[in-house]
Amino acid sequence: MTEATQEIIELGQQYIKTLTYAEMIKPENVYSYPTIIGANIVGGNLTIGSGNSVFKFDDKNGVWLGNDAFSSAIFKVTLAGALTATSATITGSITTTSGTIAAFTIASTTISATNLTLTSGAANTANITVGT
């Protein structure tokens, strides 16, 4: 490889190799190490920072920050889109047909807690049940 087709870019103590398109599509180079294509990083994992002051992405877990380990991160989003946040302020609407908020259980047509059920429906079927 000539200097015209290869550059090594230093990022802190990590190095990322940039390749020509012809070099990138060789089987031995595909996802063997991160490469920069325009403004995109292709292959590998991304880590910025360390310990509890880290932002990470990998192709197994997703995106997370606040802890080096995905399982202990205070904020994370799995590759399937499941969001976990230790503390959140959400504005706008939230749509759900299941789950819990504090002691309330949400189902497709009811919100219930001990001795209280709100049931949605037509005017003649919607109701509030208090007590057992």
Q: From CA 11, how far away is CA 14, in angstroms rounded?
A: 5
35's CB contacts (< 8 A; 6+ apart) are 16, 17, 18, 19, 24, 29, 41, 42, 43
Q: What is the pLDDT of residue 62?
A: 94
**For residue 5, what pLDDT is reported?**
44
Give residue 84's pLDDT: 95
Mean pLDDT by 10 residues, the chain (132 residues): 48 61 64 63 78 89 94 95 92 90 92 92 88 77
Q: Are 131 and 115 in contact (CB under 8 A)?
A: yes
* pTM of the shown model: 0.55
